[in-house]
Amino acid sequence: MKILITGGAGYIGSHTSTVLHDAGHEIFIYDNLINSNKEVISQLQKITGAKFNFKEGDIRDTNLLTKEIKKNRIEAVIHFAGLKAIGESMEKPLDYFDVNVGGTISLLRAMYANNVNYLVFSSSATVYGQPNYLPIDEKHLKVTTNTYGQTKLQVENILEGVCKRNKSLKKI
């Protein structure tokens, strides 16, 4: 399967890319390199012995995403791209909503334009706030305590709504 990994040059994205490559998938990495380094792509190629397709770009650039998804014949997306610092999110809430929520909407538009219906979204335990019980499960009440968590919960709600209204989008 041809899989787009947004934020694929980051820590979790790069490890996911390696595992999926080893499982026989063709990986395309899309990253703006704000929280990562292009050298990661070279390291992935050294580790696996394979060439990884890479495009530097902003997740909010719907036109570029649409073009790259089409050009690379992407079949599924794993979405890690976004801002991630809890403290910074409280200082720069508009930046976090713009990148994390707006970027996801941009990605969904690009996927829709290319009839890509498979998405894995990397959320965060921060959507649960202070846990009422452990271990936390998906039935746990969601009460965010910071802007970062609010953006992740907002995206979860958007995806839930999109899946309910667009039966071709597969919720995994």
Whether the model pTM is above 0.75? yes
- In this predicted model, what pLDDT tens digit does every residue of 98-154 receive, in sequence order? 999 999 999 999 999 999 999 999 999 999 999 999 999 989 999 999 999 999 999
Residue 168 has pLDDT above 80, yes or no: no
pLDDT of residue 107: 98
Look up tokens 């990661």; give the residue.
40
Residues taking part in catalysis = 148
Is 65 exposed, middle or buried, given 0-12, 13-18 or 19+ CB atoms closer than 10 A?
buried
pLDDT of residue 61: 98
